[in-house]
Amino acid sequence: MEKGESRVVIGGSGSGKSVILKHIIGILKPDKGNVFIDGIDLKTLNEEKLYDVKKKFGMLFQMSALFDSMNVWENVGFVLLRQKKKKPAEVKEIAIEKLRMVGLVGIENLMPSELSGGMKKRVGLARAIAHEPEILLYDEPTTGLDPIMADAINDLIIMMRERLSVTSVTITHDMNSAYKIADSISMLYDGVIIETGTPGEIRNTGNPVVRQFVMGSAVGPIKIEGVSNERIFDRA
Amino acid sequence: MIEYIEKVGKIVIAIAEELGRILLLLFNVIKQIFLPPFEVRNIFKQMMEIGVKSLPVVIVTAFFTGMVFALQTYTGFQRFGAQAYVGTVVALSLTRELGPVLTGLIVAGRAGAAIAAELGTMRVTEQIDALETLATNPVKYLVVPRFISGLLMLPALTIFADMIGIFGGYLVTVGVFKASSVVYWKRTWDYLEVSDIYNGLIKACFFGAAIALISCYKGFYTSGGAEGVGKATTGAVVLSSMTILISDYFLSNWLFK
């Protein structure tokens, strides 16, 4: 991937999308193959060096994964508070600034349990950008949100790239979102990237598997787990 | 026949695997204890959770255990005229056995369950993964403070349990049975040795470390949503309690022989 690129990985449930993200950021270690970040093979790094590389990343989780024992600004300022280079009051100021960037004002003292799903996503995004990472990873950023909130999150992802010039990898199965935020889209099927192209190329693809997925059709070469194809064809 | 061997084999492998993972976690914890940053604030927070907040239950348990122990020994020892030794029996059994073991069981039920449930929930809601993405080692941030707190707070709680239990025994012996207060204290101090107390505290250290390690392990490797968290919590309490009761025999055999 190029610096500053926005890549979206699409694929069905259980195709290995989340696993890709966890490998990129080094939470999981690959059984086979290598992950290179800025030319460095993560496999060759010891634990301490790996944590240095992790500082280049920010990640937005599907369910936001906010720390429920801390309030909103402590969540956003988590890394800065731990680095202890700044006083808590300064960190709080930075957290409020990051929250404003994602469109949230006046909620810094609330607990995560008091927030709606969309707000949690925004706080999660503010936390992911608080330590000014170079690479942002989004794990199904629009899943579980209403269409309007989902589009607002898409706009935020685009804004992050434009204002912070970060590289981003998004995994999703929301095609509206994918077309909107991607420079390029890769389709993951059965653990293998079967096609990569611009949103336009993917939309008009000749590959029947990709075609079925982007059209959102139950009928086609992709089998639905646990459901026999005959039944679907009967119904169709 | 082969089916049975397979079943037994599977159980043995499962136990070996679990033990191995607990030991690996222990090695990781010991390594992380000595690497900066030192989680001082977190350690104090956990000492509060594991230690200070368990104190009321420990006090009540120890007080009534001491009282019932004095009640039973007094009436029993009366049969052969040895009631003067109630103080000795209460003090020895509390410092050597009941203090550390009862405190251990209480903390396993109270703090062990809380640790497993908290870490388990953090695991299934991806908060532990989130820590990693925020350049924070979850073993260092979550497990080390709980381990150190368990190690330090269990003996502290045991000291309270010992004192309160002996006091409870005194109240029953002197207050209910009208025995001599002087005799009770004299018999207590005559036969109680410093080694009884500190060997009891060594046991408590071991129990504290075991509870924290096992509960963290169960929480840390939780999978399967809400049901998984429930299983992890039950598992933590059962395994911690079993570890306390079984290891107590071997520790006693080693420390008090």
Q: What DSSP line would sit under A138-164, residue for residue?
A: EESTTTTS-HHHHHHHHHHHHHHHHHH
Is B40 in the A-facing interface, judged by CB distances under 8 Å? Answer: no
Which tokens hold the place of B154? 């269990």
Is B157 in contact with B195 (CB distance < 8 Å)? no
CA-closest candidate to residue B52, choices B160, B124, B125: B160
Mean pLDDT of A29-46: 84
Q: Is A78 close to B134, i.e. CB distance below 8 A? A: yes
Is B136 in the A-facing interface, judged by CB distances under 8 Å? Answer: yes
Is A61 in the B-facing interface, judged by CB distances under 8 Å? Answer: yes
DSSP annotation of A191? T
pLDDT in tens, chain B (257 residues): 889 999 999 999 999 999 999 999 999 999 999 988 888 889 999 999 999 999 999 999 999 999 999 999 999 998 998 888 899 999 999 999 999 999 999 999 999 999 999 999 999 999 999 998 888 899 999 999 999 999 999 999 999 999 999 999 999 999 998 889 999 999 889 899 999 999 999 999 999 999 999 999 999 999 988 999 999 999 999 999 999 999 999 999 998 87
- CB < 8 Å from B in window 88-127 of A: 127
Q: Render pLDDT for A189-236 as a digit per residue (tens, 0 to 9).
A: 888 888 888 888 888 888 888 888 888 877 777 777 666 555 555 554
Is A138 in the B-facing interface, judged by CB distances under 8 Å? Answer: no
Which tokens hold the place of B71? 């009640």
Kindly list the residues from chain A whose CB atom is less than 8 angstroms away from the CB atom of residue B123.
Answer: none
Q: What is the residue range of B152's domain?
A: 2-255
The total number of structural domains in chain B stands at 1
Distance CA B243, CA B253 (A): 15
Q: Render pLDDT for B103-140 as a digit per residue (tens, 0 to 9).
A: 999 999 999 999 999 999 999 999 999 998 888 899 99
**Every domain of chain A and the residues it spans:** 6-206
Is A216 in contact with A229 (CB distance < 8 Å)? no
pTM for the complete prediction? 0.88
| Backbone φ, ψ for residue A192 (5° rounding) | -130, 140
Distance CA A73, CA A188 (A): 36
Fold of the A6-206 domain: Rossmann fold (3.40.50)
Q: Could you report how far apart the first and last alpha carbons of chain A are, in Å?
A: 40
Q: Is A62 close to B127, i.e. CB distance below 8 A? A: no
Distance CA B198, CA B203 (A): 9
Which tokens hold the place of B86? 């109630």
